[in-house]
Structure 1
């Protein structure tokens, strides 16, 4: 994907969800999508149902609470 192409609706949703989770993360997500040849983000997003592309809270093994994209 090149910088002059528009994002797909699902890709834009991922960017928006990252931005909602923490301002500034949307730009990082967009960069990762556009650098798909190195990150694989575009394929992962294409393989994920749209209803699963939302911010959710969860906990890790050390009980640290965080926001993340996906299930």
Structure 2
């Protein structure tokens, strides 16, 4: 079995940020990074400035769900 490639410092930071938000999410993030050929996560992380790789509070609207729930 081949050893997985080492994660970059930015990839490690993303995993840590996800894990800090909710235990278990770090493993999901790592899986997505390691399967970059299917997810594109490693490419996105590489293209994102490190200063933007932070957890932020905010709200999200899900207009898809709102239309389905109400109609």
Give the TM bin, normalised by the shorter chain.
0.7 to 0.9
**Residues 53 and 36 of structure 1, relative CA distance in 2, 3 Å threshold:** same
Q: Which residue of 2 aligns with 1:69?
A: none
Q: Which residue of 1 aligns with 2:35?
A: 35
Gaps of 5+ in 2: 63-71
Judge conservation of contact 1:14–1:29 (CA < 8 Å) in 2: yes
Structure number with the higher strand fraction is 1
- The CA RMSD over aligned residues, in Å, is 1.5
Q: Which residue of 2 aligns with 1:23?
A: 23
For 1:39 and 1:3, how far apart are their aligned partners in 2? Answer: 20
Give the secondary-structure state (helix, strand or coil) at the position aligned to 1:58: coil
Moved over 4 A (4+): none
For 2:37 and 2:3, how far apart are their aligned partners in 1? Answer: 13
Gaps of 5+ in 1: 63-71
> Could you say which structure has the larger radius of gyration?
2
For 2:50 and 2:13, how far apart are their aligned partners in 1? Answer: 8
- Aligned positions, number: 61
Structure number with the higher helix fraction is 2
